[in-house]
Chain A
């Protein structure tokens, strides 16, 4: 456990696109520039806002707000339907730019990436690289594109630095300005500290990031977080790397808010079938198999119903996933407004275990592989069940937040 601040030269850079999807729309459609823009998943007033432009944010619009409420705050707010293909293109451009600077580059989500320069011997000044990345983004994607760049001794401080001056900022946090920088922030400005953790910290008299920095590691571990997480925070705040790890995939799922309240049971089952196909495709794209299926439904009167089933043998095909979900869904209540499914107990699809039904499984494996190959080549859902022939009109491809696995 190190008590001193990490005094090494900051060599971690965090690059974050500003209001990414809204900025990309403003780049693609020049007439949107300068106007409050909200990216939404459906063209209705009841939909939630996925991303708001800086002009909209300045008028009080927040991500997750209903479009209708946001339009009251920001008169003239322009709703633009999300276009995942476009965002994926910009993500790949950003990834290509970041990869030019270090072999240790990790995309944290569709709009942010981290470059670690520790492995490089011949280093240029970090701020010079930061400004160069900003310029390359403008040259290679478009002049309206802006990004925040943060530099720190670890990922946490680099990300914190990237959030200091939005939009289009470039900041560095090092051992000399660490205290001064933390003094300007609130606890909830720190990535990983939301209301719940803030309440825990407040409970032991920690009300500011500086008090958090000065707190005793034993208090953080034994009283506040009650786990090793406390020690990690102690190190993280001092600039030591504790976040350089990848997390295992625990589950894969999708949910869908029904497009109307008057759908028949059969129509709801078709939409569930569509979700199963989507989940199956994602599962196989990660070379995983599952042993459990969990489904849920939310009703119009805000009741939550769920059911799950574990199987002895792993599965991966759309037909098996839907077969299990269909059996579970018979118990679901009426008046449903949202459905969801996820597969859990995931493991690698190494196909090594011998089975009495080996020939049957091999045939299924070949069939599924053939279908996936066609869908990869000719586009998602080129081949799918006849049961879901119409559902693609309603259930659209979603923007993958948080994870870059499916990009």
Chain B
């Protein structure tokens, strides 16, 4: 089995809000330990409805690990919920 880590870490994110099919694009995020990660590719973005709230799941990579960022569209908060770096 591979090395995956599930968490619920509050993060700061720099994102752009533009046009097109995927208007919101996270570019860079800072973890609670201060480490900054630059997003090199957004793999998939899908919504998940939880009651009245809609969470937007962004599966992204920085080229060294895969991450999942969750954007809460009601509270306007970002969380890092997954990290996987197991493929080398």
Contact = CB atoms under 8 A, between A and B. Distances in A.
Interface in B64-88: 65-66, 84-87
Contact of B87 (A24, A35, A377, A378): A35
Contacts, number: 60
A30 B43 contact: yes
Nearest to B43: A28
**Interface secondary structure of B, over-half rule:** strand
Contact of B61 (A24, A30, A141, A378): A30
A72 B57 CA distance: 34
Interface string A41-61: 001010000000000000000
B51 A379 contact: yes
Contacts of B44: 24, 27-28, 86, 89-90, 141-142
B33 interface: no
B46 interface: yes
A29 B59 contact: yes
Contacts of A65: none
Nearest to A141: B44
B41 interface: yes
B16 interface: no
Interface in A334-388: 377-379, 382
Interface size for chain A: under 10, 10 to 19, 20 to 34, or 35 or more residues? 20 to 34
Interface size for chain B: under 10, 10 to 19, 20 to 34, or 35 or more residues? 20 to 34
Interface in A5-44: 24, 27-32, 35, 43
Nearest to A377: B51
Interface of A: 24, 27-32, 35, 43, 45, 78-80, 85-86, 89-90, 139-142, 144, 377-379, 382
Given A85-B48, A379-B51, 10 more contacts: A30-B61, A30-B66, A43-B1, A78-B86, A85-B57, A86-B44, A86-B57, A86-B59, A89-B46, A144-B43
Interface of B: 1-2, 21, 41, 43-44, 46-52, 57, 59, 61, 63, 65-66, 84-87
10 contacts: A28-B66, A32-B66, A79-B2, A80-B2, A85-B57, A141-B44, A142-B43, A378-B51, A379-B51, A382-B51
